[in-house]
A and B are shown apart, each in its own frame.
Chain A
């Protein structure tokens, strides 16, 4: 996706529903309450009810491009004959996702690296090409544990987004960042007015004030990788993971975590028929690294915590020159026992 000259427009808040109405060639999603206190990206049923005043959603929007279950192919075999494989590449209807927080879209950029840089994953790409992300700058931190700026992001970061919306008094400042984003704005037609100098000043002010909210700092981000490497054998890993229960919350709800398992789901044993599926997996689960022999190289919770933190702040940096953490704070807020990645990095990621 090459960037063109950014197009900046203004949209009255009251016209958001009208704009959504003009996008009916796409499936629309926006953050909504899935259940009491559970914010998730849900299909837009009534555009007039979309408020875009959501806190951080429980699930990041990664499922649109990397669903928890993806069928890779179907297979069948009649005894004595060669197995028959039937590839099932996804071809979803185009979708627009509204209200994406900048941390989550930066997560998407990291998913892109994993699924397209060295190996082009057709399942991921098939979905990625069909989803347009409309971001929303965070005027107020959407979670008490936000630390996007400490990992090189910002509450108004644009990476990974097609459009960035910023809420101003009664209006949205809407900035198209990609050709797909511009097309989306063009569909709104008359609803959008060109942004004037005063609007641009107001947006800059809103962004500056958003950035001024205090966040938990990570000192010397550039030195974290080296320090983690030096502390690989530190007993502090075990100590900090003492409380860990080994669940998958921190990884399943992380906008950048992308590990998966591949398994066969047998639908019928005679004749043999089934699907090979890819499902999310987590380095925190005991069977993640279990060998067939029964040996488990990451037996302890400490080694699994180390894997999670080092993958994000050391290995990914070594391989792709950027952190694989975007500071959304989900793993901190939702951890049942208060394991806090910022504290861990503070303790073991400082020289």
Chain B
């Protein structure tokens, strides 16, 4: 079982020794059951750190945000930043390192084990508890979560309330870390990898389009999926209007001739474009942390879209994102044996 006290002590000693600028971890939230990401720079505040199945967020995102912030603040503090990383988070960090987003020495990875289970899906849990409010969720061996409500504690089989992505997780233990807490349990295979996407692929094409059209139609374009994704670090996204400066002397013709990839209107065609651009841009980079799907306020199954290409990467190109920071990326490499028969 993961020793959270040891995790806190490690974070505290890092900050006390001054060997890191801050520790990015999880703490209890005031907004609900799920933990909130916390960036802690004060050694005394490390006591707030927690790690339990409510720690769903992918903290690799905050390494990206930290880099952006440091560019603007022009800080010359060269010390690394520490980050708590689950298996999926560590894969995301590996991809960022592979893409040279930041150097290895600028980050101290505190790996944490999901203890053979994974994190909780708040929606599934709410359904399971049928109106009762969960106050805390804890690891309880490899097959169950211990959940407390106003009525006391109960043990629920983890597979029933676990996040979908955890059910299909192929490597639950951090693959990259400077220090790891918890037991190295990565064997579980609750669901076959890519089970959900393979199931969807069996649908007729017309039905699949009907399915996706319905999903795209209700998209709000709040861009939470993009904002929460550690791989969506483009300085400027195709959906942003930043590069379309309209000046007083910009003529109608100039406006008309300017390439505008995606309109801001939440129309089906535009939303489809947005999600497909994101999916293709994540090909071979998506580590299936499924944060995009979790944060979606209207439950668009984005994980399904993104894992489609991950499946292709894994099965056709034998490429596993986040497994090797020194390997070439999926689309910057090729093999002579790559599929060719689809080309005329």
Bind each other: yes
Contact residue among B32, B242, B299 (Cβ-Cβ distance under 8 Å from A145): B32
Contact B264 A261 (CB under 8 A): yes
A35 beta carbon closer than 8 Å to chain B = yes
Chain B, interface SS category = loop
Residues of A within 8 A of B224 (CB): 245, 247-249, 336
Pick 24 A–B contacts, CB within 8 A, sort by A: A35-B214, A58-B297, A68-B221, A68-B265, A69-B265, A83-B252, A243-B38, A243-B39, A245-B295, A248-B220, A249-B220, A249-B222, A263-B264, A285-B223, A286-B240, A286-B242, A287-B242, A290-B242, A300-B72, A333-B31, A337-B37, A338-B36, A339-B31, A342-B30
Report A's interface with B, CB cutoff 8 A: 34-38, 40, 58-59, 68-69, 75, 77, 79, 83, 144-145, 242-243, 245-249, 252-253, 261, 263-266, 268-270, 272, 274, 277, 279, 282, 285-287, 290, 292, 299-301, 332-340, 342-343
Report B's interface with A, CB cutoff 8 A: 29-32, 34-39, 57, 61-62, 65, 69, 72, 123, 133, 214, 218, 220-224, 226-228, 240-242, 245-247, 252-253, 255-257, 260, 263-267, 291, 294-295, 297-299
A271 to chain B, nearest CB (A): 9
Most buried by A among B123, B242, B267: B242
A334 to chain B, nearest CB (A): 5
CB-nearest residue of chain B relative to A281?
A: B264
CB-nearest residue of chain B relative to A83?
A: B252
Extra contacts, 12 of them, besides A69-B266, A243-B37 (Cβ < 8 A), are A37-B123, A69-B265, A79-B253, A245-B228, A248-B220, A249-B220, A263-B241, A266-B260, A270-B256, A277-B265, A339-B36, A343-B31
Residues of B within 8 A of A279 (CB): 264-266
Most buried by B among A242, A268, A270, A287: A242
Contact B30 A343 (CB under 8 A): yes
Residues of A within 8 A of B221 (CB): 68, 248
Contact residue among A245, A272, A299, A343 (Cβ-Cβ distance under 8 Å from B227): A245
A79 to B38, CA, bound (A): 57
Residues of B within 8 A of A265 (CB): 263, 265
B82 to chain A, nearest CB (A): 14
A343 to B28, CA, bound (A): 13
A86 to chain B, nearest CB (A): 15
Contact B218 A34 (CB under 8 A): yes
A31 to chain B, nearest CB (A): 14
CB-nearest residue of chain B relative to A269?
A: B256
Contact A292 B245 (CB under 8 A): yes
Residues of A within 8 A of B214 (CB): 35
A269 to B255, CA, bound (A): 9
> With A269-B253, A300-B69 as given contacts, are A242 and B241 in contact (CB-CB < 8 Å)?
no
Contact B255 A38 (CB under 8 A): no
Contact A261 B31 (CB under 8 A): no
Residues of B within 8 A of A301 (CB): 65
CB-nearest residue of chain B relative to A271?
A: B256
A339 to B265, CA, bound (A): 27
A263 to B242, CA, bound (A): 12
Contact B57 A336 (CB under 8 A): yes
Residues of A within 8 A of B266 (CB): 68-69, 279
Contact A336 B39 (CB under 8 A): no
Residues of A within 8 A of B218 (CB): 34-35, 38, 40
> With A336-B224, A338-B30 as given contacts, are A249 and B297 in contact (CB-CB < 8 Å)?
yes
Contact A287 B133 (CB under 8 A): no
A247 to chain B, nearest CB (A): 4
Residues of B within 8 A of A338 (CB): 29-32, 34-36
Residues of A within 8 A of B263 (CB): 263, 265
A220 to B224, CA, bound (A): 33
Residues of A within 8 A of B220 (CB): 59, 68, 248-249, 252-253
Contact B264 A340 (CB under 8 A): no
A166 to B34, CA, bound (A): 33
Contact A266 B255 (CB under 8 A): yes
CB-nearest residue of chain A relative to B22?
A: A242
CB-nearest residue of chain B relative to A299?
A: B72
CB-nearest residue of chain A relative to B214?
A: A35
A35 to chain B, nearest CB (A): 5
CB-nearest residue of chain A relative to B37?
A: A243
Residues of B within 8 A of A266 (CB): 255-256, 260
Residues of A within 8 A of B247 (CB): 292
CB-nearest residue of chain B relative to A79?
A: B253
Residues of A within 8 A of B223 (CB): 247-248, 285
A292 to B257, CA, bound (A): 19
Residues of B within 8 A of A269 (CB): 253, 256-257
Contact A35 B256 (CB under 8 A): no
Contact B31 A340 (CB under 8 A): yes
Residues of A within 8 A of B295 (CB): 245, 247, 249, 336
Residues of A within 8 A of B265 (CB): 68-69, 265, 277, 279
Residues of B within 8 A of A334 (CB): 297
Residues of B within 8 A of A245 (CB): 61, 65, 224, 227-228, 295
A84 to B204, CA, bound (A): 46
CB-nearest residue of chain B relative to A344?
A: B30
Contact B299 A287 (CB under 8 A): no
B41 to chain A, nearest CB (A): 9
Residues of B within 8 A of A274 (CB): 256
Residues of A within 8 A of B34 (CB): 338
Residues of B within 8 A of A40 (CB): 218, 298
